[in-house]
Amino acid sequence: MTALRSFVFLVWFSALSITLSLLFWPALLLPRGAAIWLARTWARTTFWGLKVFAGIGFEIRGTPPRGPVLVAAKHMSMWDTLALSLVLDKPGIVLKRELLLVPFFGWFVWKAAAIPIDRGAGAKALRQMSAAAGDVLAQGRPVLIFPEGTRKKPGAPPDYKPGVAGLYGMLEVACVPVALNSGVYWTGFLKRPGTITLEFLEAIPPGLKRADFMALLEKRIETATAVLLP
């Protein structure tokens, strides 16, 4: 039954994504607000289908931050990006530059929220990312980063990259950690029924030393995530 419901959701999700992309491609030529509206509409309708066809709901714990702040989230599935782009207030999202090359999806992400990073560019990439993130903060919007850089299976050993510490130090703003358990229910093709929990944790104030910040960030996210896992 899980495989069948997952297949039905996949068909519906694919049809939805293609239809929205083809109908609203002119949003790429309009101001950024049009692409943001489309992204939020896509997320909402995706979650509706996820609930109806796959039996997956979600709950938000804690208070989503507002204004210029750095948000560092655990990353387990595609669900995370959709949910955080919907719950946060027009965030700028740090992501791999390669994703922007994906037809329609990448183009809309670039228009709406992207802070692209070239992982092979070293210190130059950090400076470019910091400059783009600074522009987002100057607009009163949050910056979202997944500090492990890629999706992790539930319970997998953590692997936090130094980029988040570099961004935290350069931006000089508070960092809000985020724990979640989406990987228990959204595992690639399979969608297991249940309720995904996304939890905003206590903010880390600006000004900590690099090592202290990294240790505290990992501790808060991993401890809270472990509680959310079965």
Tens digit of pLDDT for each residue in 201-219?
A: 999 999 999 999 999 999 9
pLDDT tens, position by position, 91-138 = 988 887 665 655 556 666 666 677 777 665 566 767 777 888 888 899
Q: What is the mean pLDDT of residues 169-198?
A: 95
pLDDT tens, position by position, 85-98 = 899 988 988 887 66
- Under CATH, to which class is 2-228 assigned? alpha beta
104 in the Ramachandran plot: left (φ > 0), alpha (ψ -120 to 50) or beta? Answer: left
Question: For residues 29 and 52, which has the higher predicted lDDT (pLDDT)?
Answer: 52
Task: State the burial class of residue 105 (Cβ atoms within 10 Å of its Cβ: 0-12, 13-18, 19+).
Answer: middle
What's the rounded Cα separation, in Å, for the pair 71 and 175? 6
Of 99, 172, 108, residue with least CA distance to 134: 172
Q: How confident is the model at residue 24 (pLDDT cuts 50, 70, 90)?
A: confident
What's the rounded Cα separation, in Å, for the pair 32 and 109? 10
What's the rounded Cα separation, in Å, for the pair 55 and 193? 5
Range from 13-27, 53-67, 109-123 that averages highest in pLDDT: 53-67
Residue owning tokens 């994703």: 99
User: Rounded mean pLDDT of the chain?
Assistant: 88
